Structure 1
Amino acid sequence: MPFSFDFGGFDPSAFGGFSGGDASQPQRPKRERKPRKAIGNAFTRTLINLGVTLLFGLGYFYFELPALNFHAEEFYVFVFLLCAVYCVCAVLTSGFQGEGVKGYFGFVKKQCTIPFLVLVALIAAIIIGGLTSWVVIRAGSYSKLLSIKDGDFASEVEEISYNQIPMLDEDSAARLGSRKLGELADMVSQFEILPSYTQINYQGRPVRVTSLAYGDLVKWFTNRSAGLPAYLIIDMVTQEAEVVRLDEGMKYTTAEHFGRYLPRHLRFHYPTYMFADPVFEINEEGEPYWVCPRMVKTIGLFGGTDIQGAVLVNAVTGESQYYEEVPNWVDHVYDANLIMEQYDYYGMYHNGFINSIFGQRDVTHTTEGYNYIAIGDDVYMYTGVTSVTSDQSNIGFILSNQRTKETHFYSVAGATEASAQASAMSQVQQMRYVATFPLLLNIADQPTYFMSLKGEDGLVKMYAMVNVQQYNIVETGSTVAECEANYRRALADSGLISDGDAEAVPSDQEEISGAIAEIRTAVLDGNSYYFLRLEGQDTFYAVNAAENPLAVILNAGDQVTIAYTAGEGGGILSGTSVARAGETPVTFTPEEAPADAPAETGQPAEDAASSNQPT
């Protein structure tokens, strides 16, 4: 039985409400949606679509700087975005015509046929390119990226003089640079230092160089017309920082903006080149340049990253030129991480991909860390090589030329760099010094880890040498010469070298004779030092009394012969030994002090020679 609601004569159905029974309800007629009107004719719409896409592309290219190269991954992102922008514009300008999902899809497909085909082609290229670059099926090609020659350490790695041994790491160099800039009142308020320090061989000496940068955007705006006025050189041997002022400022750097921003300057001149990170260098005349390595992919579309020449950009004028073979003064073309990556490919896959997982016969990789050393006119990257199944010993190491990528492997089994650092720090654990990542040197035909020991202030306090094959042989010294002398004696005591080799004078040791004109003393790191100045000279020679007890009884006017380390520069040179005239300079340990040396009295060294010291 049908029923209805009676609300005192009120009929809800009259107001569109519900009611019982089968009474029919009035329905509002549906409004037919009118299709949006298209803009102009087909030719006009195409021009608008292309114009908007072009404007977007120019803006994206200006700010993101993608390489127009099929080997560059960012190129595909760029093209995808262009196609997407064109499709959106085409749909908007054509008025969203179509009924239902199928109708809209057909409409969009009709408007975006060409961009759709481009996207399909790019996706296919990415898939095929990725497969042809896959290390699983191209392991042999990856293992051949780095050509490696076996070498003999003792015959090929010569002993180098002290003025070629870098004694600072990048962190210490950065601290010295910041302190130096802080001394220049006209610069410190406007500029800061780029954090990347490039180690190069400059005029026969290892140095680190970096450019200044603008303090902020406002300071860039007020100083950009003159450019950056200077760059910094940190001498890795003398530990001296120098600010080199330029006659004309650098206007093309990584700290610039707009057209003078270095990556943008490169992209506009070389739109198809892919570049590795640019590095700051100076030529032998001190002119600042940016070395911009050209990166190429050699395996498939995206694999086998390598370097093929470099573009050199004058930091002052912006003039650039591409060199397939870079000039000899350039030191840093191949990044250390790239070389280590290529060696790891060789170490993992030279016996095949399956062997790298199962069996692992002769599978090796580089250790964590690297360092640089100057050999001849070039800078070489050093890193150790260890087995994938070993964690405490190296099987050898590689030296790789940073300019040419010429790489030699030296089979020298021994301690890892981390073990050597721990051994060195244990020798001075009461000082709480921290060891830098070691270099590998040839000392008396013995492969030797050399490292600096830094204090809590980040500055170098001492030096250490650790034998690679017997890392329990560890010696330290306040100077490199003292450290080497101690190390040679330890090698002789262990029977690794002869007594004659232990007493050998390093190639950069020189001697000078004369009458003492002035003596001064100081206590440095708990050791008494005597500073001797000979008549007719302005240079002082620092002699450690613990190593040279004869220094305690010397007086002004005495004729002496001093052996010292050449090439250090500055007003104070490190004297390694001292003797009276006519005697041979000999370095003594406290236990070997001569019989005529004064006995320990507890009297401060400053008082022992106070009658000879000017105030």
Structure 2
Amino acid sequence: MKKRLIPIILTVLIWAGMYYYYLPPLNIHSRDSWVFILTILVVGIIINFWTIFRAVFLDRTSPERAANRKIMKKLLIVPVGLAIFYVVGTLLSSPIIRASAYNRLLTVETSDFATDIHEVDYNKIPILDSDSAAKLAEREMGSMVDMVSQYEVSSYFNQINYQGKPVRVTPLRYGDLIKWITNRNTGLPAYIQIDMTTQNVDLVKLQQGIKYSPFEHFGRNLYRYVRFRYPNAMIRTTNFEIDESGVPYWVCAVQDKTIGLFGGTDIKGAIVVNAVTGEHVYYDIADVPRWIDKVYDANLLIEQYDYYGTLKKGYLNSIFGQRECLKSTEGYNYIALDDDVWVYTGVTSIGGDESNVGFVLMNSRTKETKYYQVSGAKEISAMSSAEGQVQHLGYNATFPILLNIANEPTYFLSLKDAAGLVKKYAMVNIQKYQIVAIGDTVAECEKVYRNLMTGNGINTIDSGKALKISGTITMMKDIVADGNTYYYLMLDGSEQLFEIEVKNQLGILKKQAGDTISLEYVAEPNGVNAVIDLK
């Protein structure tokens, strides 16, 4: 009897250890759970193989052997039944059968670009991608002599809106297991915050360290901590965020399967864990606090849009006829609107057209999705155009973000050198993608871009913002920049500086200091007012 109990006890202990290590959700809709069940069954058979083999084949008394065989046949019903249930569940979850249900996962609203996306202040344009942010963080960490020997920069970079500006945040992590042992009592002492517009990097030190994270072990490991408190939750992603007071949190998106057994992945809520104290709260998706920026990950949103775009007329049409089938383009980026983070991606024909038919914005917190019908260049084409302007420098373009410049949909890109540092900026008009502007600063790039649009017959001036002034010219100087001649004026009684591009206002060539002139201009943030008309 004892010999038979030992393998059973060993099996239970190993199963418990496997659960503690792998942490699968106890949820019938999770494939991880099914794989775990299959694995522990195989492990159980291996551990108890000799006991099973002896009971079925080696027992001398035929009545006992026959009884054991009957028992084994009944036990075989369990894995066979599970296998059949899994296969049927997978089939009924497939878009081949449930195309219309997949198509309805996402509700898309057609909207107007100029109405929804206002002209952005170039001082608030995010100019860093995740790779550049990581390099800046590593450089900042290297300057912290008291920390660099114990901690490293983690890979949990997350773009959020913090106090009205786009930033990326990531916690530190322990350098290795020994450093975890020596520092675990105090926890991780800081997180890194990177301003996406100024490239400023701040190491934010905490009064109390981060004690719950993926970098901990045992009970304070974030995944284990959440799993033991929410055993049924299927955690899709884990994001590091800070609230408006700078308090660090982990936001664990809880997914659900809404079509059949395994299909129709969606987010039903979020588990929010205070990274310092371990306090945790579950929110249904409709109740997630506004300071949280990301619950839906970009890959899920794009997947759902592709279902929406390709399955409108059924699965077979998406493969053969492909009528009215649209799909997202390669890549995505984030933009900030109304204190929310939205995923941006272009939309193109499924037939492989080289241009976009529009683009979509998808809210990372609410899943609200808006489609804008604006045809033009693909993002990849815009990246190539920008790189072509500086091919002698060998710079690489980042994936573009979407801006509104003079009510024109515009790609904005950063150009990086071989070291991954941002050196120049580019703007490409989506509809007229031959208009490509390059500048050493965002302000300079915007100025060149507006001038190029004006030269191509696009009105870049909002008449409601135009101002007028008259006076005697007290100072007048000409400067040549990028092959264009500019005159800079000052008038009596005014400290303002006015800029006139000669090719657009040839009448300035007839003026000189001491002449009276009337100007119509637009006030610029840099203090140099752009003249749009003169008399």
TM-score by length of 1: 0.74
- Aligned pairs (5 A) from 1:32-181: 39=1, 45=4, 50-87=8-45, 92-93=50-51, 96-99=54-57, 109-112=69-72, 115-181=75-141
Across the aligned residues of Structure 1 and Structure 2, the Cα RMSD in angstroms comes to 3.0
Please, which of 233, 237, 241 is the counterpart of residue 193 of structure 2?
A: 233
Change (3 A) 1:117 1:433: same
**Within 1, Cα distance between the matches of 2:263 and 2:59?**
42
Change (3 A) 1:252 1:546: farther
Change (3 A) 1:492 1:274: same
**Within 1, Cα distance between the matches of 2:134 and 2:436?**
28
Is the contact between residue 489 and residue 502 of structure 1 (CA under 8 Å) also seen in structure 2?
no
**Within 2, Cα distance between the matches of 1:144 and 1:189?**
52
Q: CA deviation at 1:48?
A: 5.1
The superposition leaves residues 500-556 of structure 1 with CA deviations (integer Å, 9 ceiling, x where unpaired) of 4499689xxxxxxxxxxxxxxxxxxxx99xxxxxxxxxxxxxxx99997769xxxxx
One-letter identity of the residue aligned with 2:244: E
Q: CA deviation at 1:473?
A: 0.8
The superposition leaves residues 373-431 of structure 1 with CA deviations (integer Å, 9 ceiling, x where unpaired) of 11111011100011011342001000011100100011110000011111112222232
Q: Which residue of 2 aligns with 1:601?
A: none
Change (3 A) 1:478 1:56: same
Q: Which residue of 2 aligns with 1:292?
A: 252
**Within 1, Cα distance between the matches of 2:483 and 2:245?**
42
* Structure 1 alignment gaps of length 5 or more: 1-38, 507-526, 529-543, 552-559, 561-578, 598-615
One-letter identity of the residue aligned with 1:66: P
**Secondary structure of the equivalent of 1:278?**
strand
Q: Which residue of 1 aligns with 2:459?
A: 497
Q: CA deviation at 1:307?
A: 0.8
Whether 1:386 aligns to 2:348 is yes
Q: Which residue of 1 aligns with 2:214?
A: 254
Change (3 A) 1:222 1:412: same
**Within 1, Cα distance between the matches of 2:163 and 2:380?**
32
Please, which of 448, 459, 462 is the counterpart of residue 410 of structure 2?
A: 448
**Secondary structure of the equivalent of 2:447?**
helix
Please, which of 321, 327, 332 is the counterpart of residue 294 of structure 2?
A: 332
Is the contact between residue 396 and residue 412 of structure 1 (CA under 8 Å) also seen in structure 2?
yes
Q: Which residue of 2 aligns with 1:265?
A: 225
**Within 2, Cα distance between the matches of 1:70 and 1:315?**
29
Please, which of 579, 584, 587 is the counterpart of residue 499 of structure 2?
A: 587
**Within 2, Cα distance between the matches of 1:94 and 1:117?**
16
Q: CA deviation at 1:344?
A: 0.9
One-letter identity of the residue aligned with 2:36: F
Please, which of 129, 154, 174 is the counterpart of residue 194 of structure 1?
A: 154
One-letter identity of the residue aligned with 1:331: D
Q: CA deviation at 1:257?
A: 1.3
Q: Which residue of 2 aligns with 1:204?
A: 164
Change (3 A) 1:249 1:306: same
One-letter identity of the residue aligned with 2:357: I
The superposition leaves residues 225-244 of structure 1 with CA deviations (integer Å, 9 ceiling, x where unpaired) of 11100000000011100000
Change (3 A) 1:94 1:344: closer
The superposition leaves residues 1-49 of structure 1 with CA deviations (integer Å, 9 ceiling, x where unpaired) of xxxxxxxxxxxxxxxxxxxxxxxxxxxxxxxxxxxxxx36xxx95x656
Change (3 A) 1:423 1:67: same
Q: CA deviation at 1:481?
A: 1.9
Is the contact between residue 83 and residue 115 of structure 1 (CA under 8 Å) also seen in structure 2?
no
**Within 1, Cα distance between the matches of 2:423 and 2:219?**
45
One-letter identity of the residue aligned with 1:392: E
Change (3 A) 1:69 1:450: same
Please, which of 335, 350, 364 is the counterpart of residue 312 of structure 2?
A: 350
Q: CA deviation at 1:585?
A: 2.6
Number of residues paired by the alignment?
493
Larger Rg: 1
**Within 2, Cα distance between the matches of 1:277 and 1:367?**
23
Please, which of 477, 480, 488 is the counterpart of residue 439 of structure 2?
A: 477
Q: CA deviation at 1:223?
A: 0.9
**Within 2, Cα distance between the matches of 1:447 and 1:206?**
20
Change (3 A) 1:170 1:243: same
* Structure 2 alignment gaps of length 5 or more: 468-479, 514-535
**Within 2, Cα distance between the matches of 1:85 and 1:167?**
52
Change (3 A) 1:336 1:452: same
Change (3 A) 1:581 1:292: farther
Identity among equivalent positions (%) equals: 49
Q: Which residue of 1 aligns with 2:473?
A: none
Change (3 A) 1:380 1:258: same
One-letter identity of the residue aligned with 2:12: L
The superposition leaves residues 254-302 of structure 1 with CA deviations (integer Å, 9 ceiling, x where unpaired) of 1111111111111111111100120111000000000100011111111
Is 583-592 or 190-199 further displaced after alignment?
A: 583-592
Q: Which residue of 2 aligns with 1:537?
A: none
Is the contact between residue 133 and residue 301 of structure 1 (CA under 8 Å) also seen in structure 2?
yes
Is the contact between residue 86 and residue 115 of structure 1 (CA under 8 Å) also seen in structure 2?
no
Change (3 A) 1:501 1:218: same
**Within 2, Cα distance between the matches of 1:101 and 1:546?**
99
Is the contact between residue 163 and residue 205 of structure 1 (CA under 8 Å) also seen in structure 2?
no
Q: Which residue of 2 aligns with 1:419?
A: 381
Q: CA deviation at 1:584?
A: 4.0
Is the contact between residue 160 and residue 167 of structure 2 (CA under 8 Å) also seen in structure 1?
yes
